[in-house]
Structure 1
Amino acid sequence: MNAMEQSGLKRKLGLFDAVMVISGDMIGVGIFVTTGFIAATVPSPGGVLLIWLLGGLLALAGALSCAELSASLPLAGGDYIYIREAYGKLMGFLSGWSSFLVTFSGSIAAIAVGFSSFMSYFFPILGSDNVFFSAAIIGHSIKVSIGTVFSIVTVLILSGIHYAGVRQGVLLQNILTTLKIGSLLGIILLGVLVGKGSTEHFVPFFDLSKVTDLSVFGAAFIPVIFAYAGWNAVIYLAGEVKQPERNLPRALVRANLLVILLYLAINVVYIYGVPVTEMKGALRVSEVATTALLGYQTSAWITAIITVSIFGALNVVIMLGPRIYYAMAQDGVFFRGLARVHPTFGTPSNAIVLQALWSCILVLTGTFDALFTYVSVIISLFSALTVGSVIVLRFKRPDLKRPYKLWGYPFVPLFFVLVSLWIAWGSLVSKPWESFGGVIIVGLGIPAYFFWQKRGLKG
């Protein structure tokens, strides 16, 4: 079945749900740890805020582009659907292939391990040092700790919740995202109302004399881009959003604007609490700033906020990925059973199970870090292809109904595409062999595609 004729998934999610999904995916650990790195490379208040603003504008450019795409093609699967329609089935498959092997499953593994690591602050037994089993398999050392088991159990529990219904998973996400936003607002309000900061920290606002090489802006920009990751989260659930032509564009724009404003405001509070020169290289700048503002050690509650943020991001990623594999299976280019929608729960149940199993294997073997290193270039390229689909489909499918037309076309998508290609080029130059490994991983999808397509034709 062509995914243009999807059936089975029900539209149960409203505008508020969609906004919470995007915001919850975007607000992760990045906002709490990235500013110290930026301050080390762009050491002025204006420079730090400018980098955060530019990162937000890039995310917004992607969101605006996906607003047109998702309103025109309101189907489960997100970028797999857009790339397939713009560049053909093979390119769409390779996008979904890399999503399953690395992008989503690897993200789940990495976030789950990170969640366990932060939980070990409160429960030291979850620390990675508590190894109870180790072995070498095909030359790869595997170490299993109590934290490893906790990470796997967390993935399985959240996968079980999403297996049991999209409403249950989204309800949990609404609660977690509300806690995230509330925590950021709490830091902002406490910092402004009772914080012992100083406006002198903003003078001079820009100090370009400390920037000797424009390349430092690029070095500072990349981690901010990752802090805004998740700006398109709801497109994967497009087949389950009510009134998608109306709600998807609104959710994408509103969620991104909300997060941009929160990120800028929280960074203003950071600088109000600590001069930029003193936050250089601070890994947990949020803790440094709030401790200075409030006059007491804040490590416990900052760690708690970060832990909730990580848990919320994990919940979202587990929810989204299976919709890609479901759409691929409906197209006949992935395991047929993944197209199954549970008769009672109305979820892509088999796809959820497969993703959970593969993610747990990645947690157990610890191979997700290496996989991400290999495919960082590929991820940037597929992001460029996704947003570039807006331009391609304007020519290829002029007849396509477009309930929402992208504002700023073609400059908005071109801005995103060019920056994504620049990031990909930077990764390629700095890590050529790892990038070649990523090409091999994605290239293995070519014979896999023809294998599944042949099986689909026979079926």
Structure 2
Amino acid sequence: MTQANGPKRHLPVLQALLITLGMVITTDILKTAPTVALNVGPEYFYGVWVLGGLASMAGALCFAEMATAFPHPGGDYHFLRTAYGERMGFLFAWSRFSVMHTGWIALSAFMFADYFNAVVPLGEHGSGLFAGAVIVALVLLNLTGKHIGFITQTLLVGLLALGFLSIASAGVWLAWQGIEAPVPVNPPTPENTGMAGFSAAMIFVFLAFGGWSDAATLSAEIRDGRRGIFIAMLGALTVLMAIYLALNWAFVRGLGFAGLAASNAPAVELLNRAFGAPGVMLILLMVGIAAIATINSTLLVGARTTYAAARDVPQLRRFGEWDERHGVPRKALLTEGAVALLLVLFGSFTQSGFNTMVEYLTPVYWLFLSLSSLALIILRRRFAQVPRPVRVPFYPWLPLLFFGLCLYMLYSSVTVVGYGAFLGIGVLGVGALLLAGLGRLTQAPQPSPPETSDRPGGEGADRLDYGFNADRSSR
């Protein structure tokens, strides 16, 4: 029986796949491809992008197992809380609320504002005002209801994918015309070599692939509870890796490898060589579409995590209310938007709001992703009786391998990204102090997990109340 008050299974699998694609596909690659090229050289360039895609798929397999066994609008918040207890769940929800999701929203809004400012000068503080206006508009859009939010997201992602394919077509056009790539007068010198170069490159590769774990928050809303989340996550990453490889091939073919490594705006240079001024306008349009799609999908996911966490903390219960009329967590959505606006205000006083947000969120992201990968093993042992429609292959070695990768990326993000990383860690520390002040998080003893069908994907596996009750058994 489905809970009367909460998300309903209304999302078709294809739409969930497109929403997931919108969580991970961004114009970050238009900024990160030169950095990756500069750090790894031509012999490993395509390999690191394939490695980033395959590693992300390994992590997605872990999340797909947990999401089909424990469907919940909180996604990995729910997995962490069930595996490690309510306090770890709270810290994760706080990090998403104050660092990861809101930081990503501010980052995307700054990117859109900076590109728009290049075409229409906005004044000294115009970029910050523009970024804030974009966030406000999308919060209001999502408050009107889940159907408009999800449908809008589907359309935006489709347009963005077509835009990326048009960039790839520029490389095909230049090859067809036999136009050779230019040779830069002053080839760039790599900033890092060896493992340091590889680490720096992988930070930016995973930045471009990041966001796939957020799809787990849709597990309680996808119609096909048995395999829908698996198709959405793995399908989106497969499409994304193909698009990124095509884009990078086009960059190298049109600009040359040294030209790509030396470029500050490879897509603008490539389309300008192939199509002239109309190509440049296409890039500006793409950046706007990408920013709107990213902010919209992050608002959809972030508000649901805040909603799920607030339901479990008596002192914050007012933020865990679901608006049945519009099908959205209204108060959580408003709060998420307000924190993102505060980060935009903070970023407006730095030299680069975009870079500030990258430094702010990266280490916290890898810290909790490493804990989530281990949660799979803990949940397998603690709830062995729970039906698992999706099971990770090569268990436990694949989850352990992904855990090791997460630890490596956590170390690299702290040592390579810079001092901005410690600001995000400091905000996480504020969450720990808040947690100490809240004291006891739950009020009454929690019930045991309900009985479920022994048949994988049976009735119990698809029930939303099953996810909530399994969560409470962690104490």
Which TM bucket (shorter chain)? 0.7 to 0.9
2:104 aligns with one of 104, 107, 113: 107
How many residues in Structure 1 have an aligned counterpart in Structure 2?
430
Q: 1:156 Cα shift?
A: 1.4
TM-score, normalised to structure 1's length? 0.86
* AA of the residue aligned to 1:423: M
The answer to whether structure 1 residue 388 and structure 2 residue 374 are counterparts is yes
* AA of the residue aligned to 2:36: I
8 Å Cα contact 1:52/1:264 also seen in 2: yes
Once the two structures are superposed, residues 361-398 of structure 1 have per-residue CA deviations (whole angstroms, 9 ceiling, x without a partner) of: 22223377667635532221101111221122112221
The answer to whether structure 1 residue 38 and structure 2 residue 18 are counterparts is no
Equivalence map 1:207-356=2 (5 Å): 213-294=194-275, 298-332=279-313, 335-356=316-337
Alpha-carbon distance in structure 2 between the residues aligned to 1:337 and 1:418: 38
Alpha-carbon distance in structure 2 between the residues aligned to 1:455 and 1:420: 29
Counterpart of 1:19 in structure 2 is 17
Q: 1:295 Cα shift?
A: 6.4
Per the alignment, do residues 370 and 50 of structure 1 end up closer, same or farther by CA in structure 2, a change over 3 Å counting? Answer: closer
**Deviation beyond 6 Å, 4+ runs, structure 1:** none
Q: 1:173 Cα shift?
A: 0.6
1:67 aligns with one of 64, 67, 91: 64
8 Å Cα contact 1:323/1:348 also seen in 2: yes
Q: 1:9 Cα shift?
A: 1.7
8 Å Cα contact 1:78/1:237 also seen in 2: yes
* AA of the residue aligned to 1:91: M
> What SS does structure 2 have at the residue aligned with 1:335?
helix
1:192 aligns with one of 172, 178, 193: 172
Counterpart of 1:171 in structure 2 is 151
Q: 1:334 Cα shift?
A: 5.7
Tell me how large the CA RMSD over aligned residues is.
2.8
Counterpart of 2:465 in structure 1 is none
Equivalence map 1:96-175=2 (5 Å): 96-124=93-121, 126=122, 130-131=123-124, 145-175=125-155
> What SS does structure 2 have at the residue aligned with 1:239?
coil
Alpha-carbon distance in structure 1 between the residues aligned to 2:319 and 2:11: 22
Counterpart of 1:29 in structure 2 is 27
Segments of structure 1 that go 5 or more residues without pairing to the other structure are 132-144, 202-209
Alpha-carbon distance in structure 2 between the residues aligned to 1:372 and 1:195: 35
Alpha-carbon distance in structure 2 between the residues aligned to 1:374 and 1:304: 27
Segments of structure 2 that go 5 or more residues without pairing to the other structure are 182-189, 445-475
Per the alignment, do residues 122 and 371 of structure 1 end up closer, same or farther by CA in structure 2, a change over 3 Å counting? Answer: closer
8 Å Cα contact 1:34/1:283 also seen in 2: no
* AA of the residue aligned to 1:35: A
TM-score, normalised to structure 2's length? 0.83
Per the alignment, do residues 190 and 420 of structure 1 end up closer, same or farther by CA in structure 2, a change over 3 Å counting? Answer: same
Per the alignment, do residues 434 and 310 of structure 1 end up closer, same or farther by CA in structure 2, a change over 3 Å counting? Answer: closer
Q: 1:18 Cα shift?
A: 1.0
* AA of the residue aligned to 1:66: F
* AA of the residue aligned to 2:434: A
Alpha-carbon distance in structure 2 between the residues aligned to 1:154 and 1:425: 34
Alpha-carbon distance in structure 2 between the residues aligned to 1:69 and 1:273: 43
> What SS does structure 1 have at the residue aligned with 2:400?
helix
Alpha-carbon distance in structure 2 between the residues aligned to 1:225 and 1:41: 14
The answer to whether structure 1 residue 94 and structure 2 residue 91 are counterparts is yes
Per the alignment, do residues 433 and 332 of structure 1 end up closer, same or farther by CA in structure 2, a change over 3 Å counting? Answer: same
1:47 aligns with one of 44, 47, 51: 44
8 Å Cα contact 2:108/2:295 also seen in 1: yes
Per the alignment, do residues 39 and 334 of structure 1 end up closer, same or farther by CA in structure 2, a change over 3 Å counting? Answer: farther
8 Å Cα contact 1:80/1:92 also seen in 2: yes
Counterpart of 2:389 in structure 1 is 403
